[in-house]
Each structure stands twice: as C-alpha cells, then as structure tokens.
Amino acid sequence: MTYSIVARDPVTGRFGVAVQSHYLGVGPVVPWLEAGVGAVATQASVNVSFGPMGLEMLRAGQPADAVVAALVAGDEQSNVRQLGVVDSEGRAAAHTGAGCIPACGHLVRDGFTVQGNLIERDTCWPAMAAAYERALAEEAPFVERLLRAMEAAEAEGGDVRGRQSAAIMVVSAELQPAAWRGRLMDLRIEDHPDPVPELRRIVTMQLAYNLLDEEGDEAKAGRSEAERYEMARQLSPEAYELVFWRGVELATTAGDVEAGRRELQVAFAADTRWRTTLQHLADAGQQGITPELAETLLG
C-alpha cells in the first residue's frame, strides 16, 4: 500500500526516509530513523515493531543485511511484510515478502533502497532509484534527491488506490545524546488529494526557515544573516512568519527601526493579524517591543 526510499547521503552522512501511501497518516508508521545510527522503513502489512527493533540492532553495530534477516526470521507473517534498511556505513538491504500485493518489489543500490507494494506498475521503484541516482550525479541536495524519487514514483502511477498521505524525515550523521536532537526534518502530509506536491511545498518552506538557523548549513558555510534572509524570502515568499520576526529583530536587536518597520509593513499587508501580534508583544513586554516602539512600527 506504499512506496518509500531509505537512504544515507554519501556527502553528509545524513539518513533520510520519504514515503507515500493511500493510507491516513503514513508518517507515524513507516519511517524510523536515528541520528548516527541508520534508517528503517516498514510497510505492506506493517509490523511497526520492525522500526524500533531495527534501530536497536543498528545501534548495536549490526549491518543492514543482518538486521533485515533477523527481523524477517523472527516474524511469523514475514511473507506479507516489506522492509528497507540502511546502516551507518551506507550498506542497504530490503525484503519483500512473497505474499505482498502486486505490483510489489524493491531495489537495493549503493547507499539506498527503494520499495513498493500495491503499486500500479512494477516500473515504480526502478524509476525511483533512477531519479535518485540522477539527482546524486547532479549533486542535488539530499532532500531534493528524496523528493525526486517520490515524484518519479508518482509519474509511474504510484499507489494503485490513489494518493492520501506522505512524509519525509532526515536525521544527522552524528550520534546524539538524545535522538530528537539529531532530527533535521520531520514533515508529514496526513490527508491530502495530492500529497507529494504538497510535501514539496512544505519542505521548501522548512528549508527557508532552516536558512535562518544559526546552526544551519548556510550559516556554518559563512553566509551572513542578511544573505540568508534574502535567500529564504526567494525560496518561500509566502512565509510571512519569517518576515515578521525579521522585522522585529531588525528593530530591536539590530537597532535599525526603519528597516524593521519596512519588513513589518510587508507582513502587515499580507495579514492584518501580524499588527495585532506586534501589539500583543508590546502589551507583554516581550522580544524588546515597548509600547513606544510598537507605535512607531505600526505607524
């Protein structure tokens, strides 16, 4: 009932899973990832325990093929399960049970695996692999590669029942003291008539937000905050939350009230509730917004 890709980025060492299904809320079920450890996708007649159990084995240092073999061997219904695993070294392995509903199958490649079941055509997962590899050859960013694999699946018909939900998750290459700290992206479309384009839309917005993260890739590469803000505005023009807080920051932290006012006017023009938000900040004495400053900025 699902197609997915599980991958380790050979450039950054990050792990990612992207998935789509005609199933309400596929995101909480299929993808299981842990920073510095690996990634698992469990699907078909889903055995959700494959996720945490697989990560536990990967954490203990077992390679992807051993993890798949152990999970399948310990499951009495393995013939109706589908599974993809990538370990910390980028080794990939997969399983498609003989009882999975066609079209079904998987392909294991260097650093990633693609799999699908209850798919319209058996060209789906090969198209995903080809799209991912083309994007890798083009040096496209990791998230972009995952999205292109999803779009390739849709171009081949995708889930035979249609479309409903999609998800993408990316975690860092480094082990973390708490698993949530390594989660770089976790976005879900729970119910939508065309979830893959919608997933791309919100991924694009998330990437715009990431540009303003002082711990993000572009900040670490040395781009100034002003440069990153302009990039974010170009990437996601409708992200007026970014505009509002940029205006607040300019007017307070940077001390450039006029520049802050100009940015805030853009947000105010998009939605008058941003004016109310600024007034509420002033009323609460938050974020450096005094009543006097709010009056200037609102004018």
Task: Write the pLDDT tens digit of every residue in 226-238.
Answer: 999 999 999 999 9
Look at residue 1 and tell me whether its pLDDT is greater than 70: no
Q: Per residue in 257-280, pLDDT tens? A: 999 999 999 999 999 999 999 999
Share of the chain above pLDDT 70, in %: 100
Confidence grade of residue 299 (pLDDT, cut at 50, 70, 90): confident
Q: Say what the pLDDT of residue 13 is.
A: 98
Q: Calculate ∠ Cα 221-223-224, nearest 5°.
A: 145
Average pLDDT over residues 120-149: 97
- Check residue 158 and give its pLDDT: 84
What is the fold of 2-211?
A: Glutamine Phosphoribosylpyrophosphate, subunit 1, domain 1 (3.60.20)
What's residue 180's pLDDT? Answer: 81
Is 80 exceeded by the pLDDT of residue 128? yes
Domain with CATH 3.60.20.10 in the chain: 2-211
Q: Is the pLDDT of residue 162 over 90?
A: no
User: 37-55: per-residue pLDDT in tens?
Assistant: 999 999 999 999 999 999 9
pLDDT digits (tens, 9 = 90+) for 166-181: 999 999 999 999 878 8
pLDDT of the residue at 159: 86
How high is the pLDDT of residue 225? 94
